[in-house]
Structures are given as structure tokens and as C-alpha cells.
Structure 1
């Protein structure tokens, strides 16, 4: 793997880093360090003076003196050994500091007090899809514009401020602190959903508003706003999400889309991702897990990104955490920022081979028109990043620097001729993972029976003598790390329609998904969003199959339907299913027949044959809607 450029922890000269580091060593008063340090000596015990006095006045104590000398030599040898080890360790640390500083002086890192970068921002696809703001500062959730056209000069009226555009789809459910007098944790999706039904009018959600903005004034409250220095090396990208607590929406509609743009952006290492969260709230779990791998700079909420800096100075930087800016320290004023409150225009992209034949200019033109839908490529980059992160923790109990971002890792692997993942199996012994959902609703009621039948399964493909068997097990995926670990082990995921299925885009190439659709949800909004999105992804090597419940006898009502709450149009989505083994077995036989081939799968998808309709007795039909079905 090639060398990956990292943003420097501090943009200062090598000599300054060295002096700071040596000063930190000299001021270290750790007990454990002092016992091995060259600064620790026998002088504290006046051993040398005692030795001369004994030689001059107590010659008859020579045997005891010889023993003392031998003991002293032994102690000094141990001290010298410890000193050498400590000096070697500190030299290594010093070399790492020097290397980081040297990196800060290369390419567009200059030793001048104000670091400058020449970035290709004009005509960037970001300018097409987002609103560009120049000479802008941030302060406590406010955008402050310093361009003279917004000032009232020489009797000229100030120019009209830009209208920041935020799509109406940027909505969220308010995360109430409690959902009842007996509950004190309103942080999970289930609690928010119950409260929405019980307290808020069904279907009513809150929109995330545009950020407030104003022109700069003569009465700015702090010096860095009075005489700002605009960073040309850090480019804030202010992002709005929809359904910010939903893993699927943040994966597909936020992180994967930003990834698709960033990996084709020449200055992606300078991009600072900032989430505009409603009312200054923290990042949700999906936001905090899915976005940071995309950038070598820390991902922050707008509230944290714009908090006022204390006038007594900035806090010391932690070299193990991603820097808050490309320069390393806190920045509040920027030459350019992009405000991204609108949905990106997504479309099917080109395969990697097709795109490689285009020139850079043609790629940027296509990107300015539409952004390729690539959740699979993002999922693979995410899986590689998490794997590297785990390995770093194993190899280095105390890591010396943060991990490079997922895009840089992916690009370095591709440049080195690597980056290809091991293929999933479609023969021999298949590893089949049944996703177990938390909470109520959308459960596979006969999961125990399915696991027994699955582990006893044996299939011989026509024209072959080799038996195919399966190792089947249930998995719970409470977070990204568990989702990635399960995805990298399984050959087939089986699960109910829901956000957790987004973990499937981290499966290895040639793997399959069997998505179970509840009864009558085939007519609902977003019923087949997973398989349709996967079909538009030109990078995908994932085979997405759909098993649709067509029989009310194989279905049970969900919690909202039982209680008569919420919108009736969503009741089908949350129904439970009793999944016949015969339906699963027929899909597995198709998995084996496809052999992990994306080309073969796409032929079946185009013909609608990726869809299996089943009834309670286990009867299965291929393609089209359920027989005799009505909305």
C-alpha cells in the first residue's frame, strides 16, 4: 500500500516541534519515567562523597567497600540500560513528530504563519449541487458573511443576503427525553416512534430550518471575528440529513452520496464535514458512525463546529484524534464553504471500467449533472476502513496517529493494484445469517424452525455431484461494527425489510441477500427500495433477492395495527411473518445457480425473476405481484 497523505496535527516548523517535544520531556515528572531517566542519579544519596570519605579514613573497611563498588557498578549498569532504552523510545517519538512536521511543509503546506492552499473549487460539482459561500465565518450556529457586497458602503445599499435552500424532506422526529412517566431513555428509535403515535399528530414531523446568517459588523464580539483570517486549506461542507436516526437513510441518502462525490473530488482531504443538526443536538448514532470514515478531519455538529473559542487560547491537540481542520487547530473563518441543504440528484453511474475510460474533465461534467448511486462501493470502503481500524488496535495498543480516511485507504489500495475482497461462497458450505430485529414488529416468527431446517439442508445442483450444505445462525446488529463483522463472514443475509439491511452493502462480492417483504407491503412506499437501489449501482457485486408474503395466513399484525394507532398505510410494513422453509430453499437454489455472477443476476432482475412470492403453505411463484393481491 502506498504512502497516504495525512493532514498535519500542527502546521509548524520542525524545529519548533522538536523544541516543544523536548520541553515536554524535561517537564515530565512521572514517577515511573523518573526511575529510568538519565536525569535520575545516585547524587541524591551523596554516594560519591561517602565513597571518598571511606577510602581516606576507613581503609580497614576495604572488603565492605569492594562490595559497595560492585553494587554501585551493577546499579549504574542497570541505569545505563534503562536510559538507553528510554532514549531510544524518545528518539522514535521525536522522529515521528519530525515526520509529521515534515509532511506539514510539503506540497501545499507552507511554513508561513498563515498556511495557504490552491484548491480547484471553481466549477466544482459541489458548486453545482450546493450553495457556495465565500469569506464566511461561523459563530454559535450563525453564518457571518464578510464579502463587501453585503456591506453598506458610500451610500450604497447592502446587497441582499443569499437565501439558503433546504429541501422539505429534511425532517426529523424530536428525541423527547422520556416517552412516559416510567421511562427515562428516549434515545432509541422505538421510544421516538411510540411517542410520535401517542403525543404528536400522526405524520407530523419537524423540518430542519436553514442556518441564520448576517453580514459582518463593526461590533464583532471576539478578535478573530473582528479581523478574520480566512482559511484556504479547510473547506467546510455543511450537510442536512433526512430521518437522521435511521441507519438506512443515513447510509444510503447521506454517507454513500457524500462518498460518491468526495472520492471524485481532487481536494477531498480538505473537506470538513459538518452536520447541521436540529436545535444544536449531537450527532445521532448512524451519523457518528457512518460519516467520520469519509474524512481525515473530525466530523462535527454545527453547534460544536461554531462554538466560540475562548480568548485565552486554544486547547492542546490530541494527536490520536482527527484534526478539526486541515491546518490542525480550530478555525472559524473560511475562504469558501459549501451549504448543502438540497437533495443530490442521484442516478445510475458507470461501471469502474467504463468510468476509467473517461477523462477527468468528463467525469467532473457527469458528476455536476448527477451523482452516481453507489452504496455498494461505499459499503466496501467502509468495511475496509473498519478492518484496518481493528488491525490497528491489535498491532498498536497505543496508536501514534489517527487512521487515514476510507477514501484514501481505498485509493491507495487501488494504486497498489490491490483492494479486491475475497469472494463470497456460492458452493460448498454456505454461511447463512438470519438477521434478528430488536423491538416489536417485523419479526420472523418461526426463526428457530428455520435455523433447524437450514442447518440440515443439503442440495446437489443439477449436473453436479458436489453437495452444498449450510451453516446457519442468527445475528443481532446493534451498531456498525457488529454489522461489518457479520457481513464479512456471511455468504447470505436473510432479513425482514428494514434499515438494518443496509449492512448488506458491506457483504463480500458475490454474496446474496434475501429480503422478506411483509404481507401487503408490496404496495407501500419504499417497499423495494433496497433491490431497486442496488440495481442502479454500477459498482455493485451484490445479488439482492426478494421474498414477498402473499398470504394473510402467513402474517400477523404489528404493534401499531394491534393498537389501532398511527397511519394505516404503514401498518403492512410492520407486520410479522411466518416464513416457510420451502420459500427460503427455493431462493437458496437460485443463489447457487447464479454462482455469485452479477451479470447473471442482472438478467434475472431485468426479467423480474429476482422476486419470489410465497403463501403460507410454502407455494412459490416467480416474478410479478402476488397472485390475487389487492392493495
Structure 2
């Protein structure tokens, strides 16, 4: 960089060209502390970061006479989904992993300081440091507002390792879209390795009701969502657990027998506890949402069973897995139809006559449908357990990939009137891109 310390101070401020548009989804956070995208349009476009050349009226000695530090390279990241746990993993962490850990750039990993541009100087969401920090371990992850805070006049300046803010190089990245999750499974497994040894699993499974010594017991873990606000809750989870713990099946092709040991877990005790919990399971079941992103930390060959309400079948996790050629996680889906299967989510119940800031925009109605609480028919989950067991009996991941490639059997069902199961395709927001997923 060039030292402009003796240039005239009257310089017009201009936006950095890379940040001519800063889009932030799920903003601002609402009072419920969850589900903020139900309250806003799809995106908020904020004014860009401004930059100017250095001038004679700099307020502190370290800016008047800068000494540029080449030991640290700030990487200013402008994420679109900084509030969402799942998108932080699928977009930002996966992108960092692909950029830094799959290439011979170890020197960059040691020099980079990740700086997250949060909208309007908001605090960095608490999941960023444990979820992304291990990928850039040399310096703590910070919000731009904190990283660029003005030092007091008596500050020791750029040469102070603890307070440096004058840098010879800087990277600025503003990405968008789900294409950034091209290697989410690899990124998640790397995060597991970086966190090892993991604590003991916080999950306890009941005794498996096997009917003989040759029965394989599948450990089935239901991931539950935060009750605040009460949206996308599984209302009949106790009944499902009872049915699940009595399930057994024999594969007619191989004559192998399977049973299940089923329990539930809410991942609210920290990242390493969530990792340990999902790595104890063979099958992970839950409603669509960021909580299900924890399934990416599971052991190879595990099944992610994602449940949707009719009208919103955004299979973003399947899309992410399909983009990662080394993914070892199986995606299965279940969509529930019929008004008797739903009750209004808390946000809808609080404002039965509507609210001018709630579920607005072109996705408003489908997001309202997305957030309804579910009563999930056991027949759907039973079929998916049977299909997963048949895939395991046939060889695991290779058999799953063959099933997907042949399109002769579904990995996504829809429960329609009367409890009947039909094939569902690779739909998104209720529309179909293709049948026979």
C-alpha cells in the first residue's frame, strides 16, 4: 500500500467498488430472538463501506505516520446470512474451507484475521467464533465495527501486535447464493477434526428392542427446535418416539433384520456437544431449519431426514450435499400435507388478523406455511426408516447413490390425505423441478 500521509485532507469519500451493494438477509433480528426472516423483506441493502486516502487531519499518531504490518492480513467478509447458523456453516464456513484448507495456502491461514461485516455495526452473532473460528485460527473472529474501532490518542500505534490496524494487504470478499456450499460436508468434517477430542455424547438411547442376536439396532435422534418462538415444532413427537422404539423390519433381499433405539436432543449446549450428539446417531430426524445443519457433523453414512410442511419444501441441505462430491451424508425428505396435520405457529397465532411487518414480500405466504407446527404421520417416517435400512443392507453410501442415480425409488415422500405416501420430487418453495428424487 502507498503512504498517503502528506496528501491534502479534503478528499471525497467514495464507496469501495466491491461493496456497491451489501445485501443482508434475516435482518434485523426481532424481539423473539429467532426466525427474523418472517418479519422482513427478502433482503436489506445497506450503504457500502466508505474509504478515503489518508490526510493531514488524522486524529492519532499511528494514522498520521502509519507503519504497515505485514504479519496480519484482514479478510473482510460480507455475508448475506450472518444471523443464520445453517447459512453460516453452508455459505461462509464452507467457502473458507474450500478457499483455505483444500489448497496449499497454509501461510495464508496463519496470517488471516477474519473480519465479519455485520449490518450497521451490530454485534457478531455468537455462533461465528465456534463455527468458523477454527478455520482461521491465528486470530479471533471479529466484527468489522470492533476490528476498526478508533484507538485513543495515546495508543502505541500500528507496531503494537495487540492493537495493530495498519496493514500492508487486505482481502475483501462479498459472496452470495447457495453455490458457496460446494463442499459443506468436507468443511463440517474438518471442523469436527479441529475440535477433537469431542466430549462424551450428551444423548442417552433407550435399550433396543431387538428380536434376536442378528438384528442391527439403528440409533435414531430427533433434533428439536428452540421453543422461542414456537414454529416448526413436531407436536406429536412423544407418539413418534414410542412408535420408533417399537419399530423393526427385515430386508427381504438380504434377510437382515433391523430395529431402532430412538430419542430426542435439542442442540443448545454448544457446538462440540452438538457434534458429539449427532455423531452418536445413525439417523437424524428434524423439521427443516438451521438446527438440521448440525447433521453435517455426523459420521459418514448417517441419514439426515428432513421434514417439511406442504407449501415450503426448500431442500437447501440436499442441494448443498449434491454439490459436494465427497459428501458421505444421506439426505431423505418427508413433506406433510393436510390441514389436520398443522396448527398455527406462535407468530401466526399472536397476530391472527395479520401484522404489517409479518410474513410480507413475495415469500410471505409460503414462509407462513413453513412455520406451522407439524403433526407428522408415523407411516412416513416408518417408510423412510425401512428405505434407509434397505440401503444399509445393500452397502450403505454406494447403494444410496445408486438409488439416487437410477430414480427408480424415492428419497423424498409426501404424506397426502388418508395417510397415503406418494413420491415427491426435488421441489423448492412448493414447486417441482423434477420427480423421483
TM-score by length of 2: 0.80
**1:260–1:630 Cα change, 3 Å:** closer
Determine if the alignment matches structure 1 residue 341 to structure 2 residue 174.
yes
**1:615–1:623 Cα change, 3 Å:** closer
Determine if the alignment matches structure 1 residue 302 to structure 2 residue 93.
no
Q: What SS is found at the alignment partner of 1:579?
A: coil
- TM-superposed CA distance for 1:295, in Å, is 1.2
Q: Which one has the bigger helix percentage?
A: 1
- Partners of 2:178 and 2:379 in 1: CA distance: 41
- Partners of 1:625 and 1:375 in 2: CA distance: 19
Q: 1:509 aligns with which of 294, 300, 303?
A: 300
- Partners of 1:600 and 1:456 in 2: CA distance: 26
Where structure 2 has 5 or more consecutive residues not aligned to the other structure, the ranges are 201-214, 433-437
**1:288–1:459 Cα change, 3 Å:** same
- Partners of 2:21 and 2:274 in 1: CA distance: 31
- Partners of 2:178 and 2:258 in 1: CA distance: 43
- Partners of 2:285 and 2:178 in 1: CA distance: 31
- Partners of 2:148 and 2:334 in 1: CA distance: 48
Q: 1:604 aligns with which of 396, 403, 408?
A: 403
- Considering only aligned residues, what root-mean-square deviation do their CA atoms show, in Å? 3.3
Q: What SS is found at the alignment partner of 1:504?
A: helix
**1:204–1:255 Cα change, 3 Å:** closer
Residue number in structure 2 paired with 1:169: 23
Equivalence map 1:5-404=2 (5 Å): 134=1, 146=3, 151=7, 162-175=16-29, 179=31, 188-189=33-34, 192=36, 196=39, 202-203=40-41, 206-263=44-101, 264=103, 266=105, 267-296=108-137, 297-310=139-152, 312=154, 328-343=161-176, 346=179, 373-388=182-197
CA contact (8 A) 2:91 2:178 kept: no
Q: What SS is found at the alignment partner of 2:197?
A: helix
CA contact (8 A) 1:551 1:615 kept: yes
Residue number in structure 1 paired with 2:222: 434
How many pairs are equivalent?
A: 394
Q: 2:423 aligns with which of 613, 622, 625?
A: 622
- Partners of 1:161 and 1:528 in 2: CA distance: 36
TM-score by length of 1: 0.57
- TM-superposed CA distance for 1:467, in Å, is 2.6
CA contact (8 A) 1:171 1:208 kept: no
- Partners of 2:75 and 2:367 in 1: CA distance: 35
Q: What SS is found at the alignment partner of 1:243?
A: coil
- TM-superposed CA distance for 1:472, in Å, is 0.2
Q: Which has the larger radius of gyration?
A: 1
- Partners of 1:345 and 1:561 in 2: CA distance: 28
Where structure 1 has 5 or more consecutive residues not aligned to the other structure, the ranges are 1-133, 136-145, 180-185, 197-201, 316-323, 347-370, 392-426
CA contact (8 A) 1:242 1:250 kept: no
- TM-superposed CA distance for 1:164, in Å, is 3.7
